[in-house]
Amino acid sequence: MPVRNRFAELLNEITVWRRDMHEHPELQFDTFRTSELVAERLLAFGCDEVVTGIGRTGVAGIIRGRSDTCGRAIGLRADMDALPIVEETGLAHASRTPGIMHACGHDGHTAMLLGAAKYLAETRNFDGTAVVIFQPAEEGGGGAREMCRDGLMERFGIQEVYGMHNWPGLPAGAFAIRPGPFFASADHFEIAVRGKGGHAAKPHETVDPTLVASHIVIALQSIASRNANPVEQIVVSVTSFETASTAYNVIPPSVLLKGTVRTLTPAMRDMAEARLIRIATATADAFGATASASYHRNYPVMVNAAEQTEFAARAARAVSGDCSEAPLVMGGEDFAFMLGERPGAYILIGNGDTAMVHSPDYDFNDAAIPAGCSWWAEIVESRMPVG
C-alpha cells in the first residue's frame, strides 16, 4: 500500500505540530513541554492508555486493535529532545530558545509518530497492541536506557520495537536500512596529563605537558592505522585539548584531553579501550610525565535483527516502492538500548537535499511526513494483520 490518503489530509495539521515543537526545543530529559503536548494529543486521539514519566519524562501511548488473537505488542519509538546549537536557518518557525534548536529532526520524528498514532487510534485495523513511545534524551543522555530501566518493555508486553531517523541526502520520503550492526558504539574518554610547569623561556626546567599531550594525540592515531584490522571500522578522535594557561609565556603543569571512540564490534571496542589507556600512560612516562586515562562506555552498537529488518524493508517498499541498503554509520544511537531488550529494526527516511543533522542550518523536511507516518502504520497493520 502506498502513502495513505489520510496522511495527505493530515499533513498540514502534523506540520503545525512539528513546527511548534521546532520553535520550542528542549534538551535531554527536560522535555517537559513536549512531553505534556504529546500526552495531551494521545489522550485526544483516544488512546486506550497514556502513561507519562517513564525514564523521567518519556511518554507511552497504548492503542489496541479491533482484535487481539495474536497477543502481539509492537513498540514504535520516536525521540523528542533537541541540541545545544544556535539556530541559523532564519525560518519563521526557528527556535525561540537561545542556544537550543532541533538540529537532528527529533521534532519531525515526534510529529510523524503522533500522526501515525492518530490514524491507528481512528482505524484500529490491526490484531494486537501498538505502543507508541516518545523518548527524551537521545542526544547523549541515554533516554532509551532509562525508559528500559523503568520497565518499558515488560510493563506493556512489547515483543518487537521499531525506530526511524531522517537522513539528509536521501530523497525525501525514500527509505534505507541494513541488517546487523548499523550505528556504532559511542564511547568517550578523558586523559589527564601531568608534568611540571614553568617559564616558557626555560623549557628545560619543565616537563611540558603540552608536548607530551601532543605526542599522545598523534600516537592515538595508531589505534586505527596499526592496531585495527583494516577491514573493520573504528574512529578515535581527540576533540578537546585544554590547559590551565592562557598566557604566551607560561608552560602549564597539566593538560586535559577529551575525545570519542566509535566501533562496531565488542572485540574492537575492547581493543580500543586497552590500547588508548596503554598509549596514554606509556607515552607520558617516556617523557617523564604522568597520565591518567578514563574510558567511559556509553551507547552500545545498534544492531538490527535480521527478521525484523526484512519486515521493515518490506513495509518501506510498500510505502515508497523501494528501500535501499543503508551505509554503516559511525554515529551513535541510543535506540541500541531498546534493540538490546527486544528484537527490532531501525530505518532511515530521506530528508532530501538539506543541511546535515547537527548543523545550525538544518531543518526537518515536512515533505517526508506522509511517508514516515505511512511506514509506521504499515508496520503495525502488516505485522499484526486482522484475520
Q: Which domains does the chain have, with CATH numbers?
A: 5-183+303-383 (3.40.630.10), 185-299 (3.30.70.360)
Return the C-alpha cell found at 302: 545498534
Confidence at 5, pLDDT banded by 50, 70, 90:
confident
For residue 1, pLDDT beyond 60: no
Sheet holding 344-350, edge to edge: 49-54, 58-64, 129-135, 73-79, 160-167, 344-350, 175-177, 324-325
Percent of the chain exceeding pLDDT 70 equals 99
- Rounded mean pLDDT of 326-348? 97
Whether residue 17 contacts residue 88, with contact meaning beta carbons closer than 8 Å, is answered with: no
Nearest to 38 by CA among 7, 47, 163: 47
- Rounded mean pLDDT of 80-93? 98
Please tell me whether residue 319 adopts helix, strand or coil conformation. Answer: helix
- Interval 208-258: pLDDT, tens: 999 999 999 999 999 999 999 999 999 999 999 999 899 999 999 999 999
Backbone angles phi, psi at 66, to 5 degrees: -70, -15
- Interval 71-82: pLDDT, tens: 999 999 999 999
| Among the ranges given (3-17, 147-161, 228-242, 324-338), the one the predictor scored with the smallest mean pLDDT | 3-17
Return the C-alpha cell found at 356: 546535515
- Interval 338-377: pLDDT, tens: 999 999 999 999 999 999 999 999 999 999 999 999 999 9
Confidence at 143, pLDDT banded by 50, 70, 90:
very high
Average pLDDT, the chain: 97
DSSP state of 348: E
Residue type present at position 15: T
Helix (H) or strand (E) holding 193, with range, is: strand 185-194
Confidence at 387, pLDDT banded by 50, 70, 90:
confident
- Percentages helix, strand, coil for the chain (3-state, rounded to 5) are 35, 30, 35
Please tell me whether residue 342 adopts helix, strand or coil conformation. Answer: coil
Nearest to 62 by CA among 78, 48, 74, 46: 48
The span from the CA of 264 to the CA of 129, in Å, is 33
Confidence at 37, pLDDT banded by 50, 70, 90:
very high
| pLDDT score, position 192 | 98
- Interval 163-195: pLDDT, tens: 999 999 999 999 999 999 999 999 999 999 999
Residue type present at position 147: M
The span from the CA of 320 to the CA of 350, in Å, is 11
Confidence at 63, pLDDT banded by 50, 70, 90:
very high
- Rounded mean pLDDT of 321-344? 97
| pLDDT score, position 191 | 98
| pLDDT score, position 159 | 98
| pLDDT score, position 4 | 79
The span from the CA of 207 to the CA of 225, in Å, is 29
| pLDDT score, position 95 | 98
| pLDDT score, position 244 | 87
Residue type present at position 86: V
pTM over 0.85: yes
The span from the CA of 143 to the CA of 332, in Å, is 13
| pLDDT score, position 120 | 98
